[in-house]
Amino acid sequence: MKARLLEILVCPSCGNLHALELKDQEVRDQEIVSGVLVCTHCQAKYPIRDSIPRFVDSDQYADSFGFEWNQFNRVQLDVPGKSNESENTIKEKTNLTPEKVTGKVILDAGAGAGRFAEVISRWGAKDVIAADISSAVVACYRNIGERENVHVIQADLFHLPLRRESFDIVYSIGVLHHTPNTRDAFREVSTFLKSGGFMAIYVYSVTLGMAYTDYLRRITTRIPKRLLYVLSLVSVPLYYVYRVPVIGALLNTVFRISMHPHWRWRWLDTFDWYAPTYQWKHTYPEVFRWFKEAGFVDIDLPNTRH
Ligand SMILES: C[S@@+](CC[C@H](N)C(=O)[O-])C[C@H]1O[C@@H](n2cnc3c(N)ncnc32)[C@H](O)[C@@H]1O
């Protein structure tokens, strides 16, 4: 953690208003590696462990993600000159560009291992707060935590330790539908955006063929994570069978696997589909309504973009 993060953090226990004070800190190379953050108002305490301020004391319902992102910590990270899939994905899903993020204060709500925060940081944001409820923050910190403009925090997006209306840009990719209530999560996260700011989200949409995998998920979410991790490896060879025309498409509605050409990415995405406790799906009109209700104007849905 950088000392500068103290300018951004507030106590989530007493109304997101009061500053936090740093105590008992151990500092190495400008990074605060351990210590305690204490609320100047209610005296609530939050530990800093392995350079990450912790505002929750467990992964809660998101333990599959903690496991996933620490197993596959660098699989989706761009490698300059070799792969830029995360950069292309964030452009496509949010319409953000280097010009739009340069110098901005940005919240990545549910950062996982930090693949998108990595892009945003590289594009020149002033500060990127990469928040996640799970131990994915350990992978995220290892990947990008020491960058000057990155701040990794372990926190629940329903109780973020941040000042409301203080971010120029808020984005959340593939996260809100993995919380107990997507709409409530959206509403909560949107309160951290400044008036006139920009917010982008990506949530799963309702599509045909999902019904059966939902049924399968009732079983897979009960399988111990390590066993499911091994079972998901079946997606690696199955990919070649699923590429057979017609048969492949049929099989994929019965037992969905990722069709990513990279085998580790495919394995990760298949596990990511079957493991999470919550996985809601939504329609475009529903999401459009959430933005309207939260007071947004100029709302752009991908299927209305020209
Ligand atoms: C599918 S991953 C997406 C991670 C990242 N946005 C990406 O696309 O690579 C979903 C992430 O949301 C996080 N998450 C779920 N519920 C959360 C909550 N209430 N608060 C913060 N993070 C949460 C999980 O821990 C997980 O890392």
Ligand 1 nearest-atom number relative to CA 136: 27
Q: Is 152 a pocket residue for ligand 1 (Cβ < 6 Å)?
A: no
Q: How far is the CA of 294 from the centre of ligand 1 (A)?
A: 22
Residue 206 near residue 281, CB atoms below 8 Å: yes
| Topology adopted by domain 3-204+285-304 | Rossmann fold (3.40.50)
Tens digits of pLDDT across the chain (306 residues): 999 999 999 999 999 899 999 999 999 999 999 999 999 999 999 999 999 999 999 999 999 999 999 999 999 999 989 999 999 999 999 999 999 999 999 999 999 999 999 999 999 999 999 999 999 999 999 999 999 999 999 999 999 999 999 999 999 999 999 999 999 999 999 999 999 999 999 999 987 667 778 889 999 999 999 999 999 999 999 999 999 999 998 898 889 999 999 999 999 999 999 999 999 999 999 999 999 999 999 998 875 443
- Whose CA is closest to atom 10 on ligand 1? 175
The first and second tokens of residue 235, run together, are 């997606």
- Position 34 scores a pLDDT of 98
- Position 150 scores a pLDDT of 98
- Position 291 scores a pLDDT of 97
- Whose CA is closest to atom 17 on ligand 1? 133
Q: How far is the CA of 174 from the centre of ligand 1 (A)?
A: 7
* Residue of 68, 69, 77, 134 best suited for mutating to test ligand 1, as the one with most atoms within 8 Å of CB: 134
Q: Is 59 a pocket residue for ligand 1 (Cβ < 6 Å)?
A: no
- Position 212 scores a pLDDT of 79
- Position 166 scores a pLDDT of 96
* Residue of 172, 175, 272 best suited for mutating to test ligand 1, as the one with most atoms within 8 Å of CB: 175
Q: How far is the CA of 175 from the centre of ligand 1 (A)?
A: 4
Dump pLDDT digits (tens) for 170-194: 999 999 999 999 999 999 999 999 9
3 state SS of 195: strand
Dump pLDDT digits (tens) for 24-65: 999 999 999 999 999 999 999 999 999 999 999 999 999 999
Could you tell me the maximum CA-CA distance found in the chain, to the nearest angstrom? Answer: 63
* Mean of per-residue pLDDT scores for the chain: 95
Residue 62 near residue 225, CB atoms below 8 Å: no
Q: Residue type for 62, please? A: A
* Residue of 52, 65, 173 best suited for mutating to test ligand 1, as the one with most atoms within 8 Å of CB: 65
Token pair 């309504």 in the structure block, residue: 289
Q: Is 174 a pocket residue for ligand 1 (Cβ < 6 Å)?
A: yes
- Is residue 161 classed exposed, middle or buried when 0-12, 13-18 and 19+ CB atoms within 10 A define those classes? buried
Q: Is 183 a pocket residue for ligand 1 (Cβ < 6 Å)?
A: no
Q: Is 133 a pocket residue for ligand 1 (Cβ < 6 Å)?
A: yes
State the CB neighbour count (10 A cutoff) for residue 291: 18
pTM of the complete model beyond 0.85: yes
Q: Where are the chain's structural domains?
A: 3-204+285-304, 210-274
Alpha carbon distance 13, 271 (integer Å): 34
